[in-house]
Amino acid sequence: MSDVGFVAAAVREGRTSADSVAREVGRRLTRSAPLNATLDWSQAILDRQATRLDAMSATQRAARPLAGVPIALKDNIVTTDQPTTCASRILEGYVSPYDATVVTRLRAAGALIASKTNLDEFAMGSSTEHSCRGRVHHPLDPARVPGGSSGGSAALVAAGVVPAALGSETGGSVRQPASFCGVVGIKPSYGRVSRYGLVAFGSSLDQISVFGRTVDDASRVLAVISGHDEHDATSAPLPPLVLETPRRDLRGITVGLPREYFPTDLDGAVRAALDQVRDRVRDLGGTIREVSLPHTRYAVPTYYIVAPAEAAANLARFDGVRYGPRRVGAGGDVEALYRATRGQGFGAEVRRRILIGTYVLSSGYYDAYYRKAQQVRALLADDFRRVFEEQAVDMLLTPTTPTPAFRAGEKTDDPVAMYLADIFTCSINLAALPAISIPAGRSNGLPIGAQLVAPMFAEARMLSAAAALEAALDPTREVR
């Protein structure tokens, strides 16, 4: 099993069976247990999906672009045949009565849903250490984190268990672990992919996103899950994404280097890796232009006001009445029920963000914090607009993360240090733009990612350019 295109073609053409793929994926999932990347999977469920696909006629299989391709799902994307827990005690055993739209589209395209993957609880974290089922181990160095919050999905793709997986992005939760694990991570424009069936964290920021071993792998999956969905009021009225032929060069492409993303204290290996990517852009015929996004320094504080505020509102439903196991509290009244259910069901990081969000939305603080954050968010979005429209820049090139993967436990006692791991990604979510992280080299064996950012709904051009860069880069090359 090589990549998405290879597996799909082999199953469609009858050179292998979906059953063979399902059995091999089951073996790989079993062997991957030490990563702690999977929360739920079943060989029986895999086999049932494969049997249905193998029973189709050759004509029916030929119409399925992801025939037999095994894809893992972050466990905040609901499915009817496996639990959806968000790695939280408050949702233990919950099984959704419906499939998320992306799951429906994957099934219709012939994909095999391989497993549900581990994550930071309710997608709140940057290391996948905040899970009620324990942390995910980095596939190259078990002492390090795979990034978060979609660390389980990233680890499975990096370990070769599946060629592609879905995660979710609120502030960088696919691109950051993609960078740490040395795989490709695509965050689409807000509205490009339906959020119906994604357990909400920050509704104006969340976007289902894709991991792949290559740009082609991730792009094929994104094309299938994209397109308008009447079940999602925030879904853009656009048809499914049509991919461009991958470029062989970057002639006619202007790439902006935002100076704020290359601070003097940037990790030396990350800077060296990005210098090589910049050189490859020039080698491929692209034009490099230095630009400025002057409000970048406000991105992290803005994000950590907007996202917790929305989280506090979205997680109010997990109260032991509407969702969650009911816990009996002292006093026996409704307040005691809420305190006991939420106190025992939510982990420390989720409680911290709910408290922050409730504070910034409270009377007397709303204008000082939440309203101000929304105003700054508009300024951040306008920075990107001016660069793309007024300076004729086609896309931006930045580091994905300020450092390679850090050690487990290194930042858990310092939430601010953990939040700064999203410094180069969260502004993209605030501005609702598409972005991709591709492997750009290694430092002492640990992967480093480079990020391309494009204008709203310009995914096709971004992915085509990323494929050209991917072909010109050696992702295993050590940088100094």
Is the CB of residue 308 less than 8 Å from the CB of residue 357? yes
Catalytic option among 32, 74, 209, 464: 74
The bridge status of strand 254-258 relative to strand 395-399 is: parallel
What would the DSSP string read from start to end of 344-405?
HHS-HHHHHHHHHHHHHHSTTTTIIIIIHHHHHHHHHHHHHHHHHHTS---EEEEESSSSSP
Catalytic option among 88, 127, 168, 173: 173
Distances (CA, A) of 457 to 143, 274, 397, 463: 38, 25, 17, 11
CA–CA separation, 140 vs 31, rounded Å? 15
* Strand, coil or helix: 225: helix
Count Cβ atoms within 10 A of the Cβ of residue 204 and give its class: 0-12 exposed, 13-18 middle, 19 or more buried. middle
CA–CA separation, 471 vs 469, rounded Å? 5
Q: Which residue has the tokens 């399925």?
A: 64
Q: Is 173 a catalytic residue?
A: yes
Q: Is 149 a catalytic residue?
A: yes
Which tokens in the block code for residue 37? 């990347």
* Cβ atoms within 10 Å, residue 146: 33
Q: Is 116 a catalytic residue?
A: no
Which residue type occupies 13? Answer: E
Catalytic option among 32, 149, 153, 168: 149
Residues serving a catalytic function are: 74, 149, 173
